[in-house]
Chains A and B, each alone.
Chain A
């Protein structure tokens, strides 16, 4: 399934709404969307995963890559509301150690404030 991305500015960050599958086939689209946000100087990227049905092994790698790249530019990445299947895949690879997971936007933004 193809992927759609939509960005929305929030105080001190950008929420990237994702829908579709985060997989090998959609890697370029995801990378381009995220890289554009990073280059604009965003310090906190919040990936809204509520409409993502599936993440494959390439998708996991991309999430790790995004988190590393943001860290390099003194930023951070958080994740919102992953579906249970996606949450399970990510917890097997311990992704939440790199990208904290939140159930709502306020908590994700508060997480940023605590970290700052």
Chain B
């Protein structure tokens, strides 16, 4: 049953209105002044409030103002009663928060019509409130799911530290609110032979995180030995390309895969549509390693070629996602690969443990806030001097 609150200090008028409303089938609550009216409104949350303009202490317009300032009550429907029906007065009442007016001289048909109009508005507002609440709850649920997927991805990542007798690795992962599909890891072929990769699944949400986890399972040591039988990056990406076609929505991976042979002093690598691979020699020379080529899944017949670089102690490899450098400042200008390269150059031979977080701090300084629009992943690897 719909409830109406009648607030009027004058007993006769109040009782008469209450009786009328009861006859129309409403549940009626009566309040004898503004203060007890506000209490009743808070306590009972009626569908409609019929309010007298003239009352001591809190009059009708003051009542409305208080309701509109109270976040709990502000959507209440208020029908204000007045014996004056001057246009200026009606305008003032509406401006101070009433939804509609009812003359004290109104006929029973007009009262019925106005009350019904108020009820219609009230039920629309209620529905809107319910739907908003439902959306808020679902949004929260979605965010919790994304956070739990992000924690799962994090659990798959390697831990910074020594990853071979003379190889040090420092990494950093910052999932975005929407969660992208960045993932990186190490494949230990032997003490001296290490696979290093960083991949980025297109799209946002739980789905790219799942696809990334699936590709990283394919890239585990045992799986690679079974499917490819070699540590050759080009062969690995060529095979991965066949196993991970485009999804029906056109989603795919970009990836950089490198194999570091410490004993022979070589770094062999292949990339698939992934630009985030940078080599920094101890001498200071910096080069981006990727060549233009197709991401995984774009063409099942693609062969990915292995390139090779000599590696000496003190040289560093950085694998990273575009989320690190595709960050706009307030003018919309991207930080870009050039500025990232400059930052790495400036850090020179500072320890990796400073360079990796330092690059992320520079990107944050550029965009002016902490929250990256996309996932950020960065892995730095350094070959150490063996004789020290």
Binding site for B on A (CB under 8 A): 24, 27, 57-58, 60-65, 68, 91-95, 97-98
Contact = CB atoms under 8 A, between A and B. Distances in A.
Interface string B272-298: 010100000000000000001111011
B292 A93 contact: yes
B298 A64 contact: yes
Given A93-B292, A94-B273, 17 more contacts: A27-B249, A58-B202, A58-B203, A58-B251, A60-B295, A61-B249, A61-B251, A61-B252, A63-B250, A65-B246, A68-B299, A91-B292, A92-B273, A93-B293, A93-B294, A93-B298, A98-B299
A63 B254 CA distance: 15
A75 B294 CA distance: 21
A68 B246 contact: yes
Interface string B221-259: 000000000000000000000000010111110100000
Name the residue in B204, B252, B298, B299 with the highest tally of chain A Cβ atoms < 10 Å from its Cβ.
B298
Name the residue in B250, B251, B294 with the highest tally of chain A Cβ atoms < 10 Å from its Cβ.
B250
12 contacts: A58-B250, A61-B249, A64-B250, A65-B249, A68-B299, A92-B292, A93-B294, A93-B298, A94-B273, A94-B293, A95-B294, A97-B294
A92 B282 CA distance: 28
Interface of B: 202-204, 246, 248-252, 254, 273, 275, 292-295, 297-299
A27 B250 contact: yes
A36 B232 CA distance: 43
Name the residue in A63, A68, A91, A94 with the highest tally of chain B Cβ atoms < 10 Å from its Cβ.
A94
Shortest Cβ-Cβ A-B pairs, 8 listed:
A61-B250, A65-B250, A64-B298, A62-B250, A93-B273, A57-B202, A94-B292, A94-B294
Nearest to B203: A58
A24 B203 contact: yes
A108 to B, nearest CB: 20
Nearest to B200: A57
A5 B248 CA distance: 21
B53 to A, nearest CB: 49
Contacts, number: 56
Contacts of A95: 294, 298
B203 A64 contact: no
A92 B291 CA distance: 8
Nearest to B322: A57
Contact of B295 (A24, A91, A93): A93
B292 A64 contact: no
Contacts of A58: 202-203, 250-251
B381 to A, nearest CB: 24
Contacts of B297: 64
Contacts of B275: 92
A8 B97 CA distance: 56
A98 B252 CA distance: 15
A31 B352 CA distance: 45
A60 B202 CA distance: 10
A93 B294 CA distance: 5
A61 B248 CA distance: 10
Contacts of A62: 250
Contacts of A93: 254, 273, 292-295, 298
Contacts of B294: 64, 93-95, 97-98
A92 B337 CA distance: 13
A97 B302 CA distance: 10
A89 to B, nearest CB: 11
B378 to A, nearest CB: 19
A64 B298 CA distance: 6
Contacts of A92: 273, 275, 292
A71 B120 CA distance: 57
Nearest to B374: A57
Given A57-B202, A94-B273, A64 B252 contact: yes
A27 B202 CA distance: 13
A71 B294 CA distance: 17
Contacts of B203: 24, 58
Nearest to A30: B250
A63 B249 CA distance: 11
A58 B204 CA distance: 10
Contacts of A27: 249-250
